[in-house]
Amino acid sequence: MIWFILAFVFILLLVTLMSTKLNINIQYYHHSYNDLLTISVKLWAMHIYTFSSPLMNIEPSNLTVEIDEQSNSPLGNKKDKKTFDLKWLKEKLILSKDFLEHVQGFYKISRRFLKKWQVHNLEWKSEIATGDAVLTGMLAAGLWSVKSLFVGVTSQFVTLKRMPILHIQPVYQGKFTKTDFSCMFSFRIGQAIIAGLLIVKHWRSMRNKKTNISSSANHSI
């Protein structure tokens, strides 16, 4: 009897976990030379993780990018500074090459998973001033095109629960740029777990296929 109760409780907890939604809120603020990116994750209406960082500090002398990070979670607060250089970029390009070799299968899996994302709020407000009225108007029109394209592409991959709010304000005095972007979306933990398992399965099958091809080639020689 006790094993039946334990099994029932385990299944109940598993079903609850699989159906639980993760809510993720992304906010990016830019004003002239000030940038701030904040990502917060909520589970059952509780903040379980928060990440914030000025987007980047570029050092042209040695071609490096420094990012100051600050994260908060139930496990504690953490501050970190990361540096990215040409060596890091080279390593990522090699990993990207390996990924692209299997991109077709990953694309299908990712597309199915992303379509289950529900975007509850998407706002992108911008102000732009160049000191030249004609140039400001041209850039504002171009930015409208970029934002419209972004929303169009995004809507093909995820589910928009409400119409995005887009706003561009050309300012004809001064020189500055200002952007306020916010996006809140959610997906179920079970959907992420299933997508992860499918990716691992696909990766292993592709690796085994490559190993078999190499073995066949060696035997033929």
Is residue 165 very low, low, confident or very high in pLDDT (cuts 50, 70, 90)?
very high
Stated pTM of the model: 0.72
Cβ(37)–Cβ(53) under 8 Å?
yes
- pLDDT at residue number 16: 80
Q: Which of 185, 182, 181 is nearest to 159 (CA)?
A: 185
- pLDDT at residue number 162: 92
Cβ(115)–Cβ(185) under 8 Å?
no
CA distances from 166 to 129, 154, 176, 218 (A): 18, 14, 19, 58
Q: How many C-beta neighbours within 10 Å does residue 129 have?
A: 20
Q: Is 85 or 106 the better-scoring residue by pLDDT?
A: 106
pLDDT at residue 220 is higher than 70: no
pLDDT in tens, 33-68: 778 888 898 888 787 788 887 766 555 555 566 666
Q: Read off the pLDDT of each residue in 113-119 and give the average, rounded to a whole number.
A: 90
